Each structure stands twice: as C-alpha cells, then as structure tokens.
Amino acid sequence: MFVQVAEVVGETYGLEPIQHLDLLVRDWSSSRVLRAQGGEQHLRHVRQKLEAKTPCKHPKALEALSRSSSRCYLMPFPGERITTGSEGRLRDMGENFRESLRDYVTTLVSSASQHVQTDRHGEMLTGTQLAAKIKNLSDVMKKHRSGFSSPCQMAITFHNQRVVDITRADHAVFLREMHSLSQRMVDCLKVDPSAMAEQFVEQHRSPLERCREEMKEPEETLLRALEAELTQEAETFLKTYGKRYQSHAINQRVMDRACQDHADFLREKVSRG
C-alpha cells in the first residue's frame, strides 16, 4: 500500500515515487543484532521471503526493497519511562535506545547531501519547490482525509482536485483579461455592464460543466465550493466593471464635448475669416 500511495502522489506532483527508502523499526526484539547491521539482515530476510513465492504476491514491494537506496535500521525498546507518559526527553530513554537514536540521526544527517530530490524528468528540486509540493499535498489530505480509504480512491481524489485547480486557474486568466479590457476606455465602452454580466454567466456555466465531466467521480462538495468561489469573484469584478464603465462613459462625454466645442470654435473662425 505504501508503494501504491507513493506512485499516486508521484504521478500527481511530478515526482519519482520512491527515491530513497529508509525503514526505521522501533521495539525490535526478534534478534540481538540491531542498528544498521541488524536492519540489513532483516531486509535481506524479507526479500528472500518475497522472492520464494512464485509468482511474487508483492512485486512492487520487492522492487522497492531491492534497490541500493533502500535500507533498514532496527532500534530497541525505548524504555518504560518513555512509554509511560514521558514527553520524549533524552534522559528518560533507555541507554541502548539513546545510543541507537544518536547513531541513526548522525548517519541520516551525514548522508543527506547524497539524496538530492529530483522530479520525474530528473530535474533537481530546490528546498522551496519541494516544501511547496509537501504543503499542497498536506492541504489536500486535510481537506479530503475521509476520502482516502484506498490508494485507488486517493488517486481519484487527487485527479478531481487537479481538475478543480485547472478550472480555477483558467477562470483567473479570464478575469485578468477582463480586468485588462475594463482599463482600456475604447474596449470597455464596447461592452456595457449588462452584456459583460451575460458573458460571465456563460463563462461561469461552461467551466463548471467541463469540470464535472472531467472528474472521475463527481464530488458535489468540491463543485459547490468551486461554484460559490467563481460566483463571488464574478460579483466582485462586475461591481468594479460597472464603476469603470460609468467613469469611462463620463470621460468620453467630456472628451466629446471638448471636441465639439473646439470644432464650433474652428467653424466660427472660418466663417469670420
């Protein structure tokens, strides 16, 4: 399931599903060998169990665990003081656990430079870019946590959210174009407020219908929220547009009056001439 979820997230955010897999096991008690050495033995044992079954029931898991970038680290029981209400303080940890933790963190930090994150095209990701993707993923998961009952449902949710985001972005482009038009007097006066309102009705209906069609499983909650957002943006713009149209109309009348006065003046000069 972890590999399936990684693939879904990778597809959605343009990332490789798994670049470096680090498995940390706490409370290990199946053998006396712990830390990285014990982890390597355990990982080898798990791979052997998966390979022994023909056909392999979990080929994607076997592939992920067989990569050179995958490792396992085994840690002991942290101690009774930690598990009975401690706030995670170092002094409450058992000595073996504290030493294992120090060793693990030191190794993890020292190897960080070897694990540069890249996208699906092999392009390096900056920390800011990766953080933005993580933030976006976190926001989506908070919004749809009840819809992540399976990797399949997760994929549908991500797809639907992407359709909504594209629709929202397209509407933002339309708004910018209309704002630009409204600032130019000649273009603005060609479309009166009632005609602009009709354009927005059509612009409002079309993307919502397309959004519903492109969703794998239409989510009414998402669609209603999107409709309310687009409606609010349209109402705000139309109020601004009406004021600009009125201002342009007044300015146009002033200009026309000035031109008329100037023409009358020239005619009078010519007649006296």
Token duo for residue 7:
């693939």
Q: What is the pLDDT of residue 272?
A: 67
SS3 sequence of 86-134: CCCCHHHCCHHHHHHHHHHHHHHHHCHHHCCCEECCCCECCHHHHHHHH
DSSP assigned state of 18: -
- Looking up tokens 């014990």 gives 38
Q: Where are the domains of the chain?
A: 17-115, 148-272
* Gap between the Cα atoms of 51 and 14, Å rounded: 31
Which pTM value belongs to this model? 0.60
Count Cα atoms within 13 angstroms, Cβ side, for 92. Answer: 10
Nearest-5° Cα angle at 31, 29 to 34: 85
Q: What is the pLDDT of residue 47?
A: 92
Strand, coil or helix: what is 16? coil
Dihedral sign (CA 129, 133, 134, 138)? positive
Question: For the CA atoms of 185, 187, 193, 199, what is the dihedral angle to 10 degrees?
Answer: -150
Give Cβ neighbours of residue 94 (< 8 Å, ≥ 6 apart): 76, 77, 78, 79, 82
* Gap between the Cα atoms of 263 and 273, Å rounded: 15
Strand, coil or helix: what is 192? coil
Q: What is the pLDDT of residue 150?
A: 78
List per-residue pLDDT tens for the chain, 273 residues long.
888 888 888 888 888 888 888 899 999 988 888 998 999 999 999 999 998 888 888 888 899 999 888 999 999 998 888 777 777 788 888 888 899 999 999 988 888 777 777 888 888 888 888 888 888 888 887 877 666 677 778 888 888 888 888 888 888 888 888 888 888 888 878 888 888 888 888 777 788 888 888 888 777 888 888 888 888 888 888 888 888 888 888 887 877 787 776 776 667 766 765
Concatenated DSSP letters for 19-82? S-EEEEE-S--S-S--HHHHHHHHHHHHHHHHHHSSS-S-HHHHHHHTSTTEEEEE-----HHH
